[in-house]
Amino acid sequence: MLVDRCIVLSIRDEVQRLLELDIGELRKFNVYGDTEMRQMKASQFTPTAPYCFLVLSKVEPARTQLPFIAIDALPIRKNPMEMGNRAGRIGTVDLNILGKTEGEVWDLASYLADGFGARFEITNQNEQTYRGYAAHERMALAELMTEPMMVSPGPVAEALILEGTMHHWQILTFSYQVLL
């Protein structure tokens, strides 16, 4: 896999790391992905509470699969940030956070906003050496360009909220840059 997918998967890893922390502010979650979501819909999987589904795909969760976080890594752009280095990247991430209650959504969004530091690791997500980095070795640090902030899901989402499909939904958004 190439560098942009390594970046997106590293963002997922950072969100998962934060959800699995046991620091007392928010209970430690068992984090599951879209494979377990499909298995649960087919009655082949039962998550262990407390749990959160964390996915990269655009999949609609069932009410029993909440809380749910979908990572939407908006287009990543090449951004040469220093002379002779054309491998830099810049991007924006939306964490679509859905929950059973408004309080659950606000708490998750607030916890993740506080949890993201000024930077997080981008790792080689390949099972072999890539660009000189061993499998799962740190390739770079992503620096936050904007502080994470909550925004409204927007007009399309508002229609889904009003119809009752999605009751409790917030988006946590931030921008980052990576020097590779």
Burial call 50-89: b when 16+ CB within 10 Å, e when fewer = ebbbbbbeeeebeeebbbbbbbebeebeeeeeeeeeebbb
Residue 95 in this model has a pLDDT that exceeds 90: yes
* Number of C-beta neighbours around residue 148 at 10 A: 18
- Position 22 scores a pLDDT of 83
Angstrom distance (rounded) from CA 88 to CA 14 = 20
Angstrom distance (rounded) from CA 114 to CA 116 = 6
Beta-carbon contacts of 45 under 8 Å, excluding residues fewer than 6 positions away, are: 36, 39
The band of 59, judged by pLDDT with boundaries at 50, 70 and 90, is confident
Mean pLDDT of 59-65: 84
- Position 154 scores a pLDDT of 66
Angstrom distance (rounded) from CA 30 to CA 19 = 8
Candidate from 82-86, 124-128, 141-145 with smallest mean pLDDT = 82-86
- Position 97 scores a pLDDT of 94
Q: What pTM, to 2 d.p., does this model score?
A: 0.86
Check whether the bond before 61 is cis (ω within 30° of 0). Answer: no
Angstrom distance (rounded) from CA 16 to CA 131 = 25
Average pLDDT, the chain: 86
Structure tokens at 145: 């360009």
Structure tokens at 150: 């909550």
Angstrom distance (rounded) from CA 49 to CA 134 = 35
- Sketch out the chain's domains with CATH numbers: 3-178 (3.30.2000.10)
* Number of C-beta neighbours around residue 21 at 10 A: 13
